[in-house]
A and B are shown apart, each in its own frame.
Chain A
Amino acid sequence: MRSVLQTLSDWLAAGGHSIGQIHIAAQGAGFQLTHQDDRERTDLAARTGVEAARELAHYDDAGKFRPLKTAPNLRHGWRLSVADLPELRRALDYFYPAMLGVWLSQSRGELTPVPLRETLARQTGMYRVTQLITDEQAQEMIGTHCRLDGGCLKRILWPLAPDVPLSSLSAEKLDPTAPAGTLPLLCHEACNLLVAKAREVVKKAQQQQ
């Protein structure tokens, strides 16, 4: 029987403390979350409760909306207290949506990576045109938008096509294992942001022809 909560509990008991840019520490019966960079700071704004996590995850340091929660731009300057394990789980689902569950599925052998070509072939409406992206354009786009430094912290599990691996990213980006104590952020299928980028690439190429 699946249990995301039990998985989180077991991971913490085994010494788990990091997910993405978040550091987790036990605090009485509950937990305290901070930005990894802020662990030594003493001037952090104290926040409490799950719903504060939604707002903290939603904007970067400049107050700009973060549509991609695994972008490496988590805001600084706060510490968040949550009361118990279920609250921690919900807070982590705001900071890194679905990442606990996706990791659980992977560890149970229930995560099926979807090649980019399959994702694009499924699109309808305004995104149908993404099927016209060339392999070369797709590799360049992925190299630009998915890269670990400045793009997205998830590790990519999918190829471009079943027999076409990704060629424009670092080996680290394609490695699903994480250091001890760190919960991996896994990408089993291209996100809608990347599909939208693919549309931009195709449209731009069409205009230049």
Chain B
Amino acid sequence: MIAKPHSALILVGHGSTVNPDSSAPTFDHAAEIIRRGLFAEVHCAFWKEEPSLRQVLHMVDAEEIYIVPNFISEGYFTRTVIPRELELTGPVTERDGRVIKYCEPVGSHARMTELLVHRAAAVAPGVPPEKSTLFIVGHGTNLNDNSAIAAKREVELIAAQGRYAEVRNAYMEEEPLISKWDEYSTQPNVVVVPFFIADGLHSYEDIPVLLGIAEESPGAASANASGVFANNPYDRRGRTLFYASAIGTEPLFADLVLEQVAAFDAAHAVPA
């Protein structure tokens, strides 16, 4: 297990000015890493919430700082927004006596495939995968369209395991549309895992409506403890449908954050 008793770790999330649950997984994973006592300091920063990317470096005492984006994929935010707002010059930025190390986003980690399968099995316990269609749902068509590519890659990797009868991609705003899930699946059981960081606007308020398991937006997840997930499974369109919480809420994400720090060190090791 990685231990950095003199370093700071900053988890960067997107956050939201509207949805109270967008920042929750980032705060949760940070709290778990603080509990493990591996870093001198652990902080969160957000694009749309506080502390902002422009504030967070003022919270830090340590001279070595690891930045891990809690994002589902490489994309506009990890390549443009975060480096710009933190004034990074590359993977390693040296400024004002500090060394800032910019790690890969959590979602790019090779263990994402394992986490998706884990989440799919957890939401549909005892349901045979060989009689199930697994959907990995991404956003599609926005600035961060690399998330669609990443979701597609995960589907190919899970399909190659041969465990599920079918593994499919679907998107909110482009074909194949998640609203047509019954047309893209042939199995009696359908398991849907959102390829999102948080149970925010998209995975909690939009996708349930598109799936036909909510008449209208159920509101924020935190305000609906007995809401969408508690009512699994759903009998819809002649199938049994299971809808999972966003993959980013998986507690194992905290491990991936730490592994991205270790991966950064391995990739940027100075030869002895």
Chain A interface residues toward B at CB < 8 A: 1-5, 50-51, 54, 58-59, 63, 65, 67-70, 90, 93, 97-98, 100-102, 104-105, 110-111, 114, 122, 124-126, 188-189, 191-193, 196
Contact = CB atoms under 8 A, between A and B. Distances in A.
Given A68-B50, A111-B58, A58 B84 contact: no
A98 B76 contact: no
B16 A67 contact: yes
B143 interface: yes
Contacts of A50: 31
A5 B34 CA distance: 16
Given A90-B34, A126-B143, A189-B54, 10 more contacts: A50-B31, A93-B59, A97-B51, A98-B52, A101-B55, A114-B54, A124-B81, A125-B80, A125-B143, A192-B52
A192 B47 contact: yes
A105 B58 CA distance: 6
B54 A58 contact: no
17 contacts: A58-B20, A63-B223, A65-B20, A67-B18, A90-B34, A97-B55, A98-B52, A101-B60, A102-B58, A111-B58, A124-B81, A125-B81, A188-B54, A192-B17, A192-B48, A192-B52, A193-B17
B206 interface: no
Interface in B217-236: 220, 223
Contact of A67 (B17, B80, B143): B17
B59 A100 contact: yes
B80 A98 contact: no
A98 B48 contact: no
A2 B56 CA distance: 14
B80 to A, nearest CB: 6
A114 B85 CA distance: 12
A101 B58 contact: yes
B50 A104 contact: no
Nearest to B21: A65
Nearest to A6: B61
Contacts of A122: 84
A92 B84 CA distance: 27
Most buried by B among A54, A58, A98, A100: A98
B182 interface: no
B59 to A, nearest CB: 4
Q: Which of A54, A65, A114 has the most CB of B within 10 A?
A: A65
Nearest to A57: B50
Interface in B26-69: 27, 31, 34, 43, 47-52, 54-56, 58-61
B58 A124 contact: no
Nearest to B223: A63
B143 A93 contact: no
A67 B52 CA distance: 11
B179 interface: no
